[in-house]
Structure 1
Amino acid sequence: MSIELGKGTGPLSGVKVVEIAGIGPGPHACMILADLGADVIRIERPGGQMLAGGATMLLNRGRPSVALNLKDPEAVATVLALVKDADVVVEGMRPGVTERLGLGPDDCLAVNERIVYGRMTGWGQTGPLATAAGHDMNYIAITGALFGLGQDPARPHFPTNLVGDFGGGSTYLVIGILAALLESKLSGKGQVIDAAIVDGTAHLNAMTSAFLASGGYTEERGANLLDGGVPFYDIYETSDAKHLSVGALEPQFFDALVTILGIKDTCPGQHEPDRYDEMRAVLTETFASRTQAEWVETFEGTDACVAGIIPISEAAEHPHLKARGTFVEKDGMVQPVPAPRFSRTEPTLTLPPSREAGEHTRDALTAWGIGDVDGLIERGVAVQV
């Protein structure tokens, strides 16, 4: 496969990124950068891709995979040669690992003073837990975010890894990279980004902090405005054992809800907390009288703030998402298109997800200007699969 640089159509076209591959939020951040048009080269260990490999590894899309034995000084020199001509480095190792490899911030800034060096970790580069192992739910656990999720008083419910890895992690790493890139255009100097999931999640949860500070938050799960504590912002079961999301917070939306349901005269008022149990019972009974599809049709085009809850396997067929082209079938799978949308520099999908680490080693290194790639492969410094 021929690799050509500068083929991205998004607003980051021309930006060059070296990804020292990890798992989870790092690859997701680099997928976003590639989706937005950046040229990203993914450096992996030979035999890597420790999670689901092949075409199912969607987070690998948009960038070529290069396998290098980073224990070999020649491989390290190859990465530094890539960094010399790049704008960004992304790594997701524990603190100190890239330094021991000879690819830490000081090493990279020594060959390119304007490099933006993005570090993605769970605990951060400093603090007593910095070098400890952990995963998404451990990180969000100490921020207070996990404690408040769900409605079960006995235990919290965690939201897969959306809040930590991708909400407080990769999203904030990308924000940091873009901000540092903008600043580097002015100063001519790079800098290091310490993107920690604990920090990002705490920041993501700022509204809860605001509610707590104002006395409008209780640590009792399912008792707050936005966690199902009020009956007009909750989830209800339909007659076919499916569910609806109801978010009629504002008075005009609540009025639309009870009017369409035909319970305006019998349902308690929106701001009568002493009668919330009664209101919830009325709403529960009413929504249980019809199927999800019937209710979706009833509320279509209204301001009642009601939507059917569907599994991801059905999301691509939702009429609204279908009209917007939110998902596309490409490379043998249904996948989300790049987001957000741009009026002039609309991103397009480029390379499919790599199937194996080292799938594009020869072509990618050549495209990035590395000489004697065949020699690197013959000496075992690089691997082409």
Structure 2
Amino acid sequence: MAEGDAPSGARPGVGPLAGVRVVELAGIGPGPFAAMMLADLGADVVRVDRAADVRPEAFGAPHPDLLNRGRRSIAVDLKSADGRDVARTLVGSADVLVEGFRPGVTERLGVGPAECLAANPRLVYGRMTGWGQDGPNAPYAGHDIDYLALTGALHGIGRAGAGPVPPLNLLGDFGGGGMLLALGIVSALYAVRGGARGQVVDAAVVDGVAVLSTQIHALRRMGMWQDPRGVNLLDGGAPFYDTYACADGRYVAVGALEERFYAELVRRTGFPLPPDEALDRDDPANWPALRRAWARLFRTRTRDEWTALVGDSDACLAPVLDWAEAPTHPHLAAREVFVSHAGATQPAPAPRFSGTPTALRRPPPHPGEHTDEVLAELGYPPERIRALRASAATA
């Protein structure tokens, strides 16, 4: 994975999506994440920011929002006729548009699917919402936790006898939302490259989270999953798939689901301590006593002592690292899972490709940092660019 510290200057032709042109209407959360994924994979992404957000004094230094990495920014007032014309000109030369507004907003702005596909019949128009483009909840606001609640996923996250735990928004916004949109866009691009017409991709967080939960629904059908939370193999119910506090207050994660891995964990750790007994782990009736026994054992050493003791093995024990520790872990460092680019340590593009390797090419831009550059590429003469600025259609 190539690194770089230069704050500007893209390397063309990097990644499997090199040559794909994307227009992103600035938003928050899953939409920008999808655009980041496309940029990480080599697409040329131009972000359309609000003209009111431009702060020229910040140009030249990376914006701190890493979700916006890999693209250029043009500032446009989409409420003005000239601004909408600029947006449609951008779309006319693009392969993809990404937007994350509530249903109907881009239509009212004059840059909805009908207008954009009329200007560019081969366009993939990617839409990102929480509830989707239709359905009773479509017009209303929501956040990650709300979408998880309706899909059943939130019900399954938490300890036995306690309420659901609000998780990080990795599951909804990014896993079920942005990643679903990125996959949908790439799939639609494949169809277009095969001769299909352009189309709209309706990606909704509720749809994506429901798809992510397919295995749980399958386990329920097979009688291998109970509806109460915190009593199953993968939700903290099993003592061999849980986290434990160590002597220093830090934690280890145990994921020894299979018998042979559990046997290795037992052998490496010396479990159990007297007077605890090595109870049959396959009987859920023994799980509470086994959990107490494991908890007592893990409190006898620090997190790093347990990590060193278990060592390189199939015991399926890992230290629970914090955000600052994670980039320095030997395995993650060896794979360059985190890289330094433009002065910021951040997750590297993923996945990896043998023939079309990816790289971070640009740091996050400030709104409007590349307006003149992008307009010139679109064929706007200098006097027209000045006129657009004077009218506040761009900034």
Aligned counterpart for 1:275 among listed residues 286, 300, 314: 286
The Cα offsets for residues 75-96 of structure 1, whole Å up to 9 and x where unpaired, read as 1111111111111010000000
1:369 and 1:74 map into 2 onto residues whose CA distance is 15
2:138 maps to 130
Paired residues of 2:51 and 2:393 also in contact (CA < 8 A): no
Which of 303, 310, 314 in structure 2 is aligned with 1:299? Answer: 310
- Structure 1 unaligned segments of length 5 or more: list them: none
The letter of the residue matching 1:232 is F
Distance of 1:2 and 1:377 partners within structure 2: 25
Partner of 2:41: 36
**Runs (5+) with no aligned partner, structure 2:** 1-5
- Match of 1:377? 389
Q: Alignment partner for residue 345 of structure 2, among 309, 329, 334?
A: 334
Deviation string for 1:133-187 (max 9, x for gaps)? Answer: 1111111111011111121533111222111100100000001001000011112
Higher deviation after alignment, 197-206 or 208-217: 208-217
Residue 60 of structure 1 corresponds to 68
For the 8 Å contact 1:124–1:197, the answer to whether it is kept is: yes
Q: Alpha-carbon deviation of 1:279?
A: 1.4
Question: What is the TM-score when the length of structure 2 is the normalising length?
Answer: 0.92
- Output one character per residue of 1:51-97: Cα deviation in whole Å (capped at 9) or x when no partner: xx963211111101111000111111111111111110100000000
Runs of 4 or more, structure 1, over 6 Å off, are 1-6
Task: Determine which of 220, 225, 230 is the counterpart of 2:228.
Answer: 220
Q: Distance in 2 between matches of 1:282 and 1:98?
A: 58
Quote the sequence identity (%): 47
Equivalence for 2:3: none
Q: Is the 8 A contact 2:8 2:362 kept in 1?
A: no
Aligned equivalent of 1:360: 370
1:213 CA drift (Å): 1.9
Q: 2:21 aligns with which of 16, 23, 29?
A: 16
Which residue identity lines up with residue 44 of structure 1 in the other structure? D
Would you say the 8 A contact 1:55–1:332 is kept in 2?
Answer: no
Query: Given the alignment, which residue of 193, 201, 206 partners 1:198?
Result: 206
Establish whether residue 350 from structure 1 lines up as the match of residue 358 from structure 2: no
Counterpart of 1:107 in structure 2 is: 115
Q: Give the match's secondary structure for 1:338.
A: coil
- SS of equivalent to 1:55: coil
- Take 1:223 and 1:136, find their aligned partners in 2: how far apart are those partners? 24
Deviation string, structure 1 residues 327-353 (Cα, Å, up to 9, x no partner): 112222211110111112111111111
Deviation of 1:220 after TM superposition, in Å, equals 1.7
Going from structure 1 to structure 2, the CA distance change for 1:4 and 1:291 (only over 3 Å counts) comes to closer
Contact 1:91 1:120 in 2 (8 A): yes
For the structure 1 residues 2 and 110, does the alpha-carbon distance in structure 2 shift closer, same or farther, using more than 3 Å as the test?
Answer: farther
Q: Distance in 2 between matches of 1:67 and 1:152?
A: 50
The whole-number CA distance in structure 2 between the counterparts of 1:229 and 1:213 is 19
Residues 16, 39 of structure 1: 8 Å contact kept: yes
Deviation digits for residues 172-206 of structure 1, max 9, x if unmatched? 00010010000111124111000000000110111
- Return the alpha-carbon distance in structure 2 between the equivalents of residues 28 and 369 of structure 1: 29
Report if the CA contact (8 A) 1:8-1:347 is conserved. Answer: no
Q: Is the 8 A contact 2:24 2:97 kept in 1?
A: yes
CA distance in 2, matches of 1:4, 1:56: 18
- Deviation at residue 217 of structure 1 after TM alignment: 1.8
User: Which of 161, 169, 176 is the equivalent residue of 1:153?
Assistant: 161
Change (3 A) 1:99 1:308: same
Does structure 2 conserve the Cα–Cα contact (< 8 Å) formed by 1:232 and 1:247?
Answer: yes
Figure out how many residues of one structure are paired with residues of the other and give that number. Answer: 379
The separation in 2 between residues aligned to 1:380 and 1:2, in whole angstroms, is 27
Give CA deviations for 1:32-54 in whole Å, capped at 9, x if unaligned.
100100000000112349xxx96
CA distance in 1, matches of 2:160, 2:312: 33
Q: What secondary structure is seen at the aligned counterpart in 2 of 1:187?
A: coil
In structure 2, the residue corresponding to 1:64 is in which secondary structure? strand
Distance 1:379 1:87 in 2: 29
Q: Separation in 1 of the partners of 2:226 and 2:99?
A: 38
1:233 pairs with 2:233: no
Per-residue Cα deviation, 1:221-270 (whole angstroms, up to 9, x for no partner): 21011011111111111000010110000111011011111227942123
Looking at structure 2, the residues matched to 213 and 257 of structure 1 have their Cα atoms a distance apart, in angstroms, of 31
Taking the aligned partners of 2:78 and 2:190, their CA distance within structure 1 comes to: 30
Q: Does 1:91 align with 2:99?
A: yes
Note the C-alpha offset of 1:359.
1.5
2:256 is matched with 248
Q: Does 2:323 align with 1:312?
A: yes
Contact in 2 for aligned 1:251/1:270 (Cα 8 Å): no
Contact 1:89 1:116 in 2 (8 A): yes
| 1:7-42 CA distance string (max 9 Å, x none) | 140000000001011110001110110010000000
What's the RMSD between the two structures over aligned residues? 1.9
One-letter code aligned to 1:28: F
**Counterpart AA for 1:310:** L
Amino acid at match of 1:365: L
Look up the equivalent residue of 1:67 and give its one-letter code: A
Range moving further from structure 2, 263-272 or 172-181: 263-272
1:322 Cα deviation (Å)?
0.9
Instruction: State whether residues 268 and 275 of structure 1, in contact with CA within 8 Å, keep that contact through their aligned partners in structure 2.
Output: yes
Aligned equivalents of 2:367 and 2:131: distance in 1? Answer: 27
SS in 1 for 2:324: helix
